[in-house]
Amino acid sequence: MSISTLRQQLLSGEITPASILERLSGEIAARDPRTGAYLSRDLESALAEAANADLSLPLGGIPIAIKDNINVLGQPCTCGSKFLAENYTSPYDATVIRKLRAAGAIPFGRMNQDEFAMGSSTENSALQTTRNPHDPERIPGGSSGGSAAAVADLTAIAALGSDTGGSIRQPASHCGVVGLKPSYGRVSRYGLVAFASSLDQIGPLTRSVGDAALILQAIAGFDPADSTCLDAPVPDYLSGLNDGVKGLKLGVPKEYFGKGIDPGVRNNVEAAIQKLAAKGAEIVEISLPHTEHAVATYYVIAPAEASSNLSRFDGIRYGHRAANPANILDLYKKSREEGFGPEVKRRIILGTYVLSSGYYDAYYGRAQKVRTLIRRDFENAFQQVDAIVSPVAPTPARKIGAFADDPLHEYLSDIFTLSANLAGIPGISVPCGVTDFDGGKSLPTGLQILGPHLGEAKLLQIARAAEG
């Protein structure tokens, strides 16, 4: 059921918040051993919140699953890493959790993810494997793979994820759900364990565009605890949701429809674009000329910021601490060697290298200049069109382990999503059919819709038209 339908039944007395939690718990027990989306859940605490739920609030009584890099008071926050899995319990609520609670929602369940959100498959989790509900031999996407898989598997009503280079939109596409990355600064990052601070953003994964709008309404807005959060009015995201697309101009970037796209993905996305045209949208071909540099730019900037952010994990302040070190330097080295997985180490090494003396200008400084060019590409495009439509990923979900020895190939799978993070603009993935791929079952594909900065209201309006 959608959040709206559940809310109607709650208000009519047909169901209670406790009954929703008990039903979810039964579904999780039955289905999650196959999917592996949940790392932990605290039913007792959730039922205690449910007993005092204020049903008059917009999300009153609705449980929301939480990606395991968002702090919830008294709950684990492992980030999918051995470093935090042993003994870290969150001492505070992230701002988005505080806002969800203020809207009446109940945080319930900690969702698996790539370690410290570094990955596009959830295979990089140090704790367990999450599988795609549509085919358990395939990835759910990442890094918010647990959140997307649970929503698709009907073991979560909705979930929060984080998106640094596509980590909400890509798993939403692979699992056949809706995933929204808000504009940078639209939602507070306070309480989100940082991967790349200039790119990270929290957003919802849901089974409908309407539910995504409801959750965004609850979590958006200024937060003085986050210096990057914008003090800008939050519009009513629900009021124009059904206004349609008649008269809107939608841009199709020619760079997003080149080589490497699975034919089934292309066909589904083109069919979704034609559906919007049939509803009155004008389709315009546009160019985002610096797209070819986006992957290289991202994989300089993101690891550089990660190497800085992850320096706090040193075996002293919190998290894993190596036993019997010879000295303080040995403590640092052993703790990080034992606590971090291979992908996190790879990105720390890469990030440290591009920031090092003699290489800063050649790599990091140049990447920041190209980032500006990518942002200007979008600014120029939005002078011509209201939104941009494209694939989310070049292919549907691949088999687990297919790229185990080829991380670069995995990085290239983010080509259509990471530019939005570099530019700071909002993006949403909406299911647009299924396709057979690599001898697998019918696998979901997603239509990506990108809008101008703080343009979430129009984005949701277009997504609703694509959904209906």
Q: Return the active site residues.
A: 67, 143, 167
Whether omega for the bond prior to residue 147 falls within 30 degrees of 0, making it cis, is: no
Q: What whole-number distance in Å separates Cα of residue 368 and Cα of residue 372?
A: 6
Q: In this structure, is the dihedral angle defined by the CA atoms of residues 362, 368, 370 and 373, taken in order, positive or negative?
A: negative
Q: How many CA atoms lie within 13 A of 133 on its CB side?
A: 23
CA angle 119, 121, 125 (to 5 degrees): 70
For residue 37, what are the CA distances in angstroms to 1, 125, 294, 343? 19, 11, 30, 20
Instruction: Give the count of beta carbons closer than 10 Å to the beta carbon of residue 240.
Output: 15
